[in-house]
Amino acid sequence: MRLSQCRECARVRVVEVADGAAGAPSIAALGVRPGAVLRVTGRGDFGRVMVAVGGVRVVLDAATARRIGVRPVVARARQAS
């Protein structure tokens, strides 16, 4: 699945950042890299995707969001005490 396909409020884990992603070194410095957990906080005009990673909010253009592969994060069930 691509980040560009995610709905608002989705929690996903980055599995790949394809070569050619605009600003790949820059977004990696902000925490958008394989293994990172993102929360999609919004969608903007022209396919922009807004995400929260750690304490940082990042807006990615549509082309970059299409180049980021993600997998949904499944919430773990709480164990009874």
Element (H, E) at 26: helix 24-29
The contacts found for 44-50 with CB under 8 angstroms, 24 or more apart, are: 47/4, 49/3, 49/4, 49/6
Q: Where are the domains of the chain?
A: 3-72
Give the mean model confidence (pLDDT) for residues 9-19. 93
Average pLDDT over residues 48-71: 94
Q: What is the value of pTM for the model shown?
A: 0.83
Given a cut of 80, whether residue 22 has pLDDT beyond it is no
The pLDDT score that the predictor gives to residue 14 is: 97
Compute the half-sphere exposure of residue 39: CA atoms within 13 Å on the CB side of its CA: 9
Query: Is pLDDT of 68 > 80?
Result: yes
The CATH fold assigned to 3-72 is SH3 type barrels. (2.30.30)
DSSP for 34-53 reads TT-EEEEEEE-GGG-EEEEE
- Between 27 and 19, the more confident residue is 27
